[in-house]
Amino acid sequence: MNSADTTPSSTREAALALLLRHGESTAAALAQRLDVSVQVMRRHLRTLEEEGLVHSSLSAAGPGRPSNQWHLTAQGQGRFPDGSEDFALGLLQSMTESLSEETVNLLLCQQGSQKAQSYRRHVGAGSLKERLERLVDLRRQEGYVAECSPDPDGHSWVIQEFHCSVMRIAEQFPCVCDQELRLIRETFPDCLVERVQWRLEAGHSCGFRLQPAVAS
């Protein structure tokens, strides 16, 4: 057994780095590059998929059966530092120093509304449960550790986010959290949305309760 087989975390990190460099790859190609069996590589890829770091799609490149091509998700891309968080912090700092609070909030509202439109397109139609599950999947791809569950009241749902991809920014600019609440409300205009947990205030997660505005 080679050393790569005995260090699964190192092999997975190496696979992520290869996907970053090449954009996509099959399990067989990754296995060859990392000197492990295809079966071992597939297990690693499934683990990375469960962690939300990679996803696969069928590709028919040439004759024969289509093959699974593996890609990094947005969360997987986030494993590699890119300086975007520092850039966002610097940009917000410059905005707050040169623009009025009203103007900064207006710009954040516009950005939030654009994102809500994108969310609504991806979430699509269906029951509130189905749409929430699609939103949670989107948030996970963006680097959030999120889940949704029924509220004890029997007709509402709660989204919990245990890791926030903008936490460091929110610590310095709490107004960003106000935009997050507005974002959820605009994504689900058929629901009454309230914040029920806030990491900046107390607790270990942020939470939003969504109650259908009209009982079905």
DSSP 21-39: HHS-B-HHHHHHHHT--HH
Helix axes 27-34 and 38-50, enclosed angle (nearest 10)? 110
pLDDT at 4: 40
Please report, as a single letter, which amino acid is at residue 58: L
% of the chain exceeding 90 in pLDDT:
35
Q: Is 88 in the same domain as 167?
A: yes
Q: What is the pLDDT of residue 108?
A: 82
| Residue 3, pLDDT above cutoff 60 | no
Q: Do 53 and 107 belong together in one domain?
A: no
φ, ψ (nearest 5 deg) of residue 57: -145, 145
What Å distances lie between residue 205 and 115, 146, 149, 164, CA to CA? 22, 9, 14, 9
Q: Quote the CA–CA distance of 74 and 80 in Å, as a whole number.
A: 10
Residues 90 and 70 in one domain: no
- Domain of residue 71: give its range: 3-77
Instruction: Determine contact, residues 195/160, Cβ cutoff 8 Å.
Output: no
DSSP states along 4-20: HHH-HHHHHHHHHHHHH
Which residues are CB-contacts of 125 (< 8 A; sequence separation ≥ 6)?
131
The yes-or-no verdict on residue 161 having pLDDT over 70 is: yes
Lowest average pLDDT, out of 3-12, 54-63, 156-165, goes to 3-12
- The per-residue pLDDT for range 37-91, each reduced to its tens digit, is 999 999 999 999 999 999 998 875 556 677 889 998 888 877 776 566 677 778 7
pLDDT above 80 (res 174): no
- Look up residue 37 and give its two tokens: 């069996």
The CATH number covering residue 186 comes to 3.30.1380.20
183: exposed, middle or buried (Cβ count in 10 Å: 0-12, 13-18, 19+): buried
What is the domain count for the chain? 2
Confidence bin at 204 (pLDDT 50/70/90): low
Q: Rounded mean pLDDT of 8-24?
A: 83
The model's confidence at residue 199, banded by pLDDT at 50, 70 and 90, is low
> Residue 132 — very low, low, confident or very high, per pLDDT cuts 50/70/90?
very high
Q: Answer yes or no: do 11 and 72 share one domain.
A: yes
50 shares its domain with 147: no
Q: At 134, is the pLDDT very low, low, confident or very high (cuts 50, 70, 90)? A: very high
**Who wins on pLDDT, 137 or 87?**
137
